C-alpha cells in the first residue's frame, strides 16, 4: 500500500488528469501539423502556379535569397505568387496583418518552409533567411529569437 495521504492521492489524480489532457492537446497539434505537411504547397501543382514555377525555379536556385536580383525575379512570378499566397496560410502575405494574424501552427509550417526553401538555393542558409525575413515581415526581436532558437534546435 502507498504511504500517500488521501490529500496527496487526490493531488496525484489531478496531476494525472492534467498530464493526460496535455497529451490529448499535443496529439491534436501533431495531427494538424501532419495534415499541413500532407497538404503543403499543393497549389503549386496546378495552374496558374505550375507554369511559372516550372519556368523560374531553376533560375531562383542560382540567386541569393533576398538579393536585388531575387526581388526582380519575383516580379516575373507575381501572378503565381499572388495565387499561392491567397491559398496557403503559412505565408504572411496570406493575411491582412501578416505574421500578426498567424497562428503558432502557421509559424511552425512557415519556418519549416523557410528551411526547405533555403536548401533549394545554392547559397541557402536558414539563419540568413530568418534575418532577411525579420526585416521583410517586420518581426519582433522576440519572434526572431524564437525562430533562431528553433533553427538551432531542429536544423
Domain assignments of the chain as residue spans, ordered by start: 1-39, 40-154
SS3 state of residue 125: coil
Q: What is the model's pTM?
A: 0.89
pLDDT value, residue 129:
95
pLDDT value, residue 109:
98
pLDDT value, residue 148:
98
- What is the pLDDT tens value at each position of the chain, 155 positions in all? 579 999 998 889 999 999 999 999 999 999 999 999 999 999 999 999 999 999 988 888 888 888 899 888 889 999 999 999 999 999 999 999 999 999 999 999 999 999 999 998 888 899 999 999 999 999 999 999 999 999 999 99
Please, which residues have CB within 8 angstroms of residue 123's CB and are 6 or more apart in sequence? 64
Question: How far apart (Å, rounded) are the C-alpha atoms in residues 115 and 15?
Answer: 37
pLDDT value, residue 60:
84
Which DSSP string corresponds to 24-76? HHHHHHHHHHHHHHHHTTGGGGSTTHHHHHHHHHHHHHTS-TTSHHHHHHHHH
Amino acid at each position: 500500500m502507498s504511504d500517500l495521504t488521501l490529500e496527496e492521492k487526490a493531488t496525484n489524480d489531478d496531476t494525472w488528469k492534467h498530464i493526460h489532457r496535455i497529451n490529448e492537446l499535443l496529439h491534436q497539434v501533431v495531427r494538424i501539423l501532419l495534415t499541413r505537411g500532407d497538404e503543403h504547397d499543393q497549389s503549386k501543382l496546378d495552374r496558374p502556379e505550375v507554369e511559372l514555377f516550372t519556368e523560374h525555379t531553376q533560375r531562383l536556385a542560382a540567386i541569393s535569397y533576398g538579393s536585388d536580383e531575387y526581388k526582380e525575379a519575383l516580379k516575373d512570378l507575381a501572378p503565381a505568387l499572388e495565387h499561392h499566397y491567397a491559398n496557403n496560410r503559412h505565408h504572411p502575405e496570406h493575411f491582412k496583418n501578416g505574421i500578426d494574424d498567424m497562428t503558432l501552427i502557421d509559424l511552425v509550417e512557415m519556418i519549416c518552409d523557410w528551411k526547405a526553401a533555403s536548401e533549394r538555393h545554392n547559397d541557402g542558409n536558414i539563419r540568413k533567411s530568418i534575418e532577411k525575413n525579420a526585416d521583410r515581415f517586420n518581426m519582433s526581436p522576440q519572434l526572431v529569437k524564437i525562430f533562431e532558437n528553433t533553427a538551432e534546435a531542429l536544423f
